Amino acid sequence: MLIVGDSLSAEYGLPRGSGWVSLLAQRLEKHRPPWRVVNASISGETSAGGRSRIETLLKTHRPKVVVIELGGNDALRGLSLASTQDNLLTMANLSKSQGAMVLLLGMKVPPNYGADYNAQFGKAFAQVAQQTHSRWVPFFLEPLTAPGEWFQTDRIHPNEKAQILMLDHVWPALEKLL
């Protein structure tokens, strides 16, 4: 299983081994051997960065499942929504062409971007999932909207106790691909 993501999957600001991807690897090792997880996530990564790396990652690791957790940094940087969608579409299609099943983790942007942009941003993930017949989670961080202290001091990156909530939110969609 290959995870291609940004800081949310790269354990930004967390002790090594405590992020949701590490917790996923532990869960799979315990309950679903012989799955192996490769975390190819990079803090600050955009969908264009993921697109530029996906072919090499697919050839190197030959995954059966690819989880794409990208797009949030695109929005935060004001990058073209059409480009983001095209990058995600290309990554999903390349993964599928190599025989992998794809899980796309959708994101939302802060409300100050405007209702129209927010709606279009969310639809981009849904459209990619539909066009590529991939599974998707509409909003990866949805469990963290519940009351509680789920974020680091930067108020952007989930803290250590939020990681199990993130994994548990992704798990039902991911388990269907195993």
What's the domain count of the chain?
Answer: 1
pLDDT of residue 109: 87
Checking if the pLDDT of 46 tops 90, the result is yes
Q: Flag whether pLDDT at 1 surpasses 90.
A: yes
Among this protein's residues, is 97 annotated catalytic?
Answer: no
Do the Cβ atoms of 110 and 139 come closer than 8 Å?
no
pLDDT of 18 strictly over 90: yes
User: What gap in Å lies between CA 35 and CA 167, rounded to an integer?
Assistant: 16
**In this structure, which amino acid lies at residue 81?**
L
pLDDT at 78: 87
111: confidence class by pLDDT, cuts 50, 70, 90: confident
Residue 104 pLDDT greater than 90, yes or no: yes
- What would the pLDDT profile of 19-45 be if each residue is shown by its tens digit? 999 999 999 999 998 999 999 999 999
Which of the residues 22, 95, 157, 169 is marked catalytic?
157
Question: What pLDDT was estimated at residue 151?
Answer: 97
Cβ-contact 83, 19 below 8 angstroms? no
Which run of H or E residues covers position 106?
none
Mean of per-residue pLDDT scores for the chain:
96
18 classed as catalytic: no
| CA gap 16, 66 in Å, rounded | 22
* Predicted pLDDT of residue 113: 84
- CATH number, domain of 89, equals 3.40.50.1110
pLDDT in tens, 115-169: 898 899 999 999 999 999 999 999 999 999 998 899 999 999 999 999 999 999 9
Is 157 one of the annotated active-site residues of the chain? yes
Is 93 a residue whose pLDDT tops 90?
yes
Q: Please tell me which residue in 6, 7, 41, 74 is annotated as part of the active site.
A: 7
What angle (nearest 5°) sits at the alpha carbon of residue 123, between those of residues 88 and 89?
15
Instruction: Give the structural domain span for 67.
Output: 2-175
pLDDT band at 69 (very low <50, low <70, confident <90, very high): very high
